[in-house]
Chain A
Amino acid sequence: MIKFQGVHKWFKALHVLNGIDLHVQKGEVLVVCGPSGSGKSTLIRTINRLEPIDQGTLIVDGMDLSHKKTDLNKLRAEVGFVFQQFNLYPHLSVIRNITLAPTKIRKTPTKEAEEQAMALLERVGLAIKRDAYPTELSGGQQQRVAIARALAMKPKIMLFDEPTSALDPEMIGEVLAVMQGLAGTGMTMVVVTHEMGFAREVADRIVFMDHGQILEEAKPEEFFKNPQHDRAKQFLKQLLSPMH
């Protein structure tokens, strides 16, 4: 579904992606973790080409992203993206946030799009907020709407870039629950997160990144029980007991 081969990217002199090789299968849930500045956000942003790559090949859903002729809008319609800061459209109500892309891009009739949006809102537990505006919602609610908005395009892949990092602790659970439910439906997911509980329970595979490289790639139980790389050990130690 997603295939990185020898992918490099630079921000000026900074080598943010340094030879990435990674293969994500259809229906797989992949968690990407690592210290801040390790390149994990850049990695996930290359998958829908919010960041172009400088070298190597990246194939997503059969489309070659290094190829100039690739229709990016078509690719992006198939790939849902959930941001750390939610990025809902503040001038539109919740239901309009969700129906905008399906009605304008997929040309779904408004009534049908609204029915689908309501079904998604039920799924994320926010049907009652259909006519609210984003500023009237809590962070957790906004993020659930953002997930519903991404799902409304019926994407083949869902990307989550630190979806709970901007949330108050008591709201993290509600968002993770929605993501866990989604993983249960067989959605292909790439999730950048520090939520190791989620990684342990939901991920099929964990990738640990540092300095633009993938240092470790393992099943969750192996990764948590027996991390191979020193930096992964250190990262886990700090994450699990930050006071030490």
Chain B
Amino acid sequence: MLNYHFDWSIITSGKYFDWLVSGLKTTLEISAVGIVGAFLIGLLIAVLKMSHFAPLRWAASAYLEFFRNTPLLVQIFFWYFGSYKILPAAVNDWLNNTNFEFAAAVLALTIYTSAFIAEDIRSGILSIPKEQMEAARSAGFSYLRSMQYIILPQAVRITVPPLVNQFLNLVKNSSLAMTIGVMEITYQARQVESYTFKGFEAFTAATVVYLTLSVTITAAMEFYNRRVLNPQRG
């Protein structure tokens, strides 16, 4: 028989609860900055990849292939353990006084996810009939304005479902930040477990946090897609 004594009180109040809440806060911060950043960079890379100017296309392709085809964990380690080695001492001093773990983790997650988002947005854009671009250009819109007012608003609608996936991946991947000492929810759950040996409760808490975040993002995007992007479908 199992002789494990469940003690849910340790994760619902007191010191360990506070740890978990602070972990949740950090996870939310990483996710929020990461989602916004990855979306904007992804959009930029997608547009560059379709540029008429070949060097911009090459640069975008290189970016995509590089960051999609190396493991996120390696990228996190690279930014955290590698990047500062080639920076001037003054910059290093400054970095040491800031929350460098957090910055490195967010940077890695943002860049990694932006590569996938760029490809999703690009296929969304490519799925818009080329006649839409012709209609926009015929009205006198420049290429970029045509993108802004006519192509992207339509492409984004198509891109919402794959974007949700990328956002969820980003939230879940943020757990890797614990490997460089970012005190997000997985890190804190691990801490609670080491101090209390209540691994079941601690990681249940982390699980519930990720699940709640993911379901909330999915529901919000679904709502946005239905009410804001496709009002005509009610």
Contacting pair B134 A104 (CB below 8 A): no
Contact residues of B: prevailing secondary structure:
helix
How far in angstroms is the closest Cβ of chain A from B132?
6
Contact residues of A: prevailing secondary structure:
mixed
Contacting pair A89 B135 (CB below 8 A): yes
A81-115 contact mask (Cβ, 8 Å, vs B): 1 or 0: 10101011111010000001100110000000000
Q: In A158-206, which residues have CB < 8 Å from any B CB?
A: none
Known contacts A50-B134, A85-B131, A87-B132; A105 and B232 CB within 8 A of each other: no
A23-54 contact mask (Cβ, 8 Å, vs B): 1 or 0: 00000000000000000000000001010000
Interface assignment of B172: CB less than 8 Å from any CB of chain A:
no
Looking at B67-75, B92-100, B140-148, B194-202, the stretch in contact with chain A turns out to be B140-148
Partner of B140, one of A74, A88, A133, A135: A74
Interface assignment of A222: CB less than 8 Å from any CB of chain B:
no
B116-147 contact mask (Cβ, 8 Å, vs A): 1 or 0: 00000000000000011011111111100100
Contacting pair A87 B135 (CB below 8 A): yes
Q: In B151-175, which residues have CB < 8 Å from any A CB?
A: 153-154, 157
Interface assignment of A73: CB less than 8 Å from any CB of chain B:
yes
How far in angstroms is the closest Cβ of chain A from B90?
46
Which residues of B sit under 8 angstroms from A90, Cβ to Cβ?
Answer: 154
Known contacts A87-B131, A91-B154; A76 and B232 CB within 8 A of each other: no
- CB nearest neighbor in A for B229: A91
Contacting pair A83 B134 (CB below 8 A): yes
The 8 lowest CB-CB distance pairs between A and B, nearest first, are: A77-B140, A87-B135, A81-B138, A101-B139, A133-B232, A76-B140, A87-B131, A73-B140
B residues near A (Cβ < 8 Å) are 131-132, 134-142, 145, 149-150, 153-154, 157, 229, 232
